[in-house]
A and B are shown apart, each in its own frame.
Chain A
Amino acid sequence: MSSGITVNGNLRDDLEPGLSIVDLVTRHGLPEEGRGVAVAIDGEVVPRAQWSSTLLEEGSAVELVQAIQGG
């Protein structure tokens, strides 16, 4: 059964509730310390200090962004 977790608009059956933001970040091949990376859940930015204590839930809508070339 789907947990309904979405990342950047994509439903992600490979992610289960209870995963931390640190888990999410490292599973995307990004450095754990997350320089250049930011996460919002349900529209709220999650401060990096709370990455290890913030857990994905059923229905979490995650935005995972990083700095790219621009401007």
Chain B
Amino acid sequence: MDAPAQTVAEIPPLEIAGVQLASRLILGTGGFHRLDELAAAIEVSGTAMVTVAMRRVEPTQQGSLIGVLDRAGVRILPNTAGCFTAREAIRTAELAREALETDWVKLEVIGDDRTLLPDPAELLDAAEQLVSRGFTVLPYATDDPVLCRRLEEAGCAAVMPLGSPIGSGRGIANPINIALITERANVPVILDAGIGTASEAAQALELGCDAVLLATAVSRAADPIRMAAAMRAAVEAGWLAGGAGRIPVRTWAQASTTPEGMADLA
């Protein structure tokens, strides 16, 4: 067995459904104002996989998103953003599979348009149907250990619990639940949604998540490129810290140097 990783260069790749990804940061492409800014953020973040959405062709659309992503050499993960039913999500996944020649899908089935929280019943239904149709399913889920276990049992290739609502920037609202999920999962756990800044991305990895998926935290930051660099460093730091065996939390101070051998200066 390999020696445990002790440096950034030794962090092993993220593996999903037998595919290795060189980065544990997955970047959503939403919210970037310009394609050149997106391209720069992808490069600086070091990401190996980015998400896209599927929408009707509009006459006014500008530039080639796919061209930018293909030139960056990243894997493209289509999502089913905006779907409220299993039926819609399955149709969208089928369109995406044809458009992008991938059977991977970030499955989103939203249950409420103000919180954008997942609809667990529709999500599980859609996941089961997509798995049976040969898709590699990465479901965006609530931070519910039971739902995540059910999604894993349904054959999902990863589970993606939220930290807090999409775009809220509130970080990880329930770290206890995230730790319960990572403790028991047998598929990669990807913290998806709610991340606002780098410390929260690091926390996700410290809690045992295998990767983080974020978009708004970078694309809507005042300086997206600088935040992309910060997220890369945070994910690496969090992964290393998570496996480094942190000290226990104590109520009282514990001196790192004992009084033994003190000079008598009284």
Residues of A within 8 A of B (CB): 8, 28-30, 34-40, 43, 45-48, 63-71
Contact = CB atoms under 8 A, between A and B. Distances in A.
B76 interface: yes
Contacts, number: 94
B96 A71 contact: no
Nearest to B28: A71
A70 B95 contact: no
16 contacts: A34-B99, A35-B66, A35-B70, A35-B100, A36-B66, A45-B98, A64-B57, A65-B57, A67-B65, A67-B78, A68-B54, A69-B32, A69-B52, A70-B30, A70-B55, A71-B52
A28 to B, nearest CB: 6
Interface string B212-226: 010100000000000
A39 B95 CA distance: 7
A5 to B, nearest CB: 15
Interface string B49-77: 00111111101010001100010000011
A8 to B, nearest CB: 4
Contacts of B76: 67
A65 B99 contact: yes
Chain B binding surface, main DSSP class: mixed
Contacts of A35: 66, 70, 99-100
A65 B29 contact: no
Given A67-B65, A67-B100, A45 B53 contact: no
A38 B96 contact: yes
A45 B98 CA distance: 8
A28 B56 CA distance: 12
Contact of A28 (B38, B52, B57): B57
For chain B, which range describes its interface: under 10, 10 to 19, 20 to 34, or 35 or more residues?
20 to 34
B100 to A, nearest CB: 6
B215 A38 contact: no
B96 A67 contact: yes
Contacts of B91: 40, 43, 45
B213 to A, nearest CB: 8
B215 A71 contact: yes
Given A35-B100, A40-B95, A67-B78, 15 more contacts: A8-B57, A28-B57, A28-B59, A29-B59, A30-B57, A36-B65, A36-B100, A63-B56, A66-B99, A67-B76, A68-B65, A69-B38, A71-B29, A71-B51, A71-B215
A65 B55 contact: yes
B96 to A, nearest CB: 7
Contacts of B122: none
B218 to A, nearest CB: 12
A8 B79 CA distance: 20
A70 B57 contact: no
B94 interface: yes
B175 interface: no
Contact of A71 (B53, B95, B98): B53
